[in-house]
Amino acid sequence: MSTEIDEAIDWLGAPLDCSACPHLPLREAEKCQPLRACVFDRYARRIDRFFDWNPDLAGSYLRHPYFEVRACAAKAADVFLLPPMLSDPEEAVRWSAARRLPKSYLLKLRDDPHREVRIRVAQRLDPPDLRPMISDADYAVRQVVARRISVDLLILMVRDLDVEVRRAVARRIPMPALRILTEDPEASIRAEAAQRLPADALPALTHDADWRVRYEVARRAAPAYLAPLAKDEDPMVKEIARERLWPHGGGAGPIDISNVISREH
């Protein structure tokens, strides 16, 4: 089923008149088509298609007043014409140009005023170039940074205000910095950290307030530390601790904490 809009109007809302179009010869050569491929249509898909069919014309439309025309033209124009487009007032145009330029040009957009541009920049930059974005004002940008930045720089993000940013840090940060996140105020972050701690570091978490953290201790810590957990108020924690302290035939094996991490108290 077609999703095309059945109207031909320009970006100012006026009806399109092919007879007055400077590209009329293109229509005769079947390189443009009303309601399908037209640089003067306000519908971005048709503008995009026009430049797909006529990439040699894209460079002459990089300063068109309609931002959709500039954004679509930047996808097809000669790449050497694109650096000035990084200063375009419209974020769609800036990103359309940036995605085709060498990564060194993306450095100029790390402080772009639009969050979507900064998110895309963070997704493309090499990890060493992400450090200035650690303190980005937008949590979604910082989440991308936490997933991609060099692990040795994650220590700078362990106190981030956003829970999902800290969760991304907990999944990647190496020891001994991982210990910092075992004291996080958010229980789910402590649980993430506990899953990655070496077994000999788990006894320090025996009395954590969250059952998921205590379960991880009961599951992997040395038996010498399990006595308090054999009396734990949470039945799953108590069960796994007892099974490890007093093994018996036919008992259920340890439950992977990743399967129960979202269980509520």
Report the alpha-carbon distance of residue 126 to residue 145 in Å, rounded. Answer: 10
| Over residues 61-74, mean pLDDT | 96
What domains, with CATH codes, occur in the chain? 1-100 (1.25.10.10), 102-174 (no CATH), 198-265 (no CATH)
Asked whether the beta carbons of 188 and 180 are under 8 A apart, the reply is no
Q: What is the pLDDT of residues 153-183, one digit of tens each?
A: 999 999 999 999 999 999 999 999 999 999 9
Stretch 244-252: mean pLDDT, rounded? 66
Does pTM top 0.85 for this prediction? Answer: no
Three-state DSSP state, 9: strand
The tens digit of pLDDT for each residue in 80-134 reads: 999 999 999 999 999 999 999 999 999 999 999 999 999 999 999 999 999 999 9
> Other C-beta atoms within 10 Å of 27: how many?
15
Which residue did the predictor score with more confidence, 265 or 71? 71
Q: Are 97 and 74 in contact (CB under 8 A)?
A: yes
- DSSP labels, 149-189: S-GGGGGGGTT-S-HHHHHHHHTTPPTTGGGGGGG-SSHHH
CA distance 31 to 18: 13
Q: 2 pLDDT exceeds 60? A: no
Average per-residue pLDDT in the chain?
91
Nearest to 213 by CA among 182, 191, 228, 235: 191
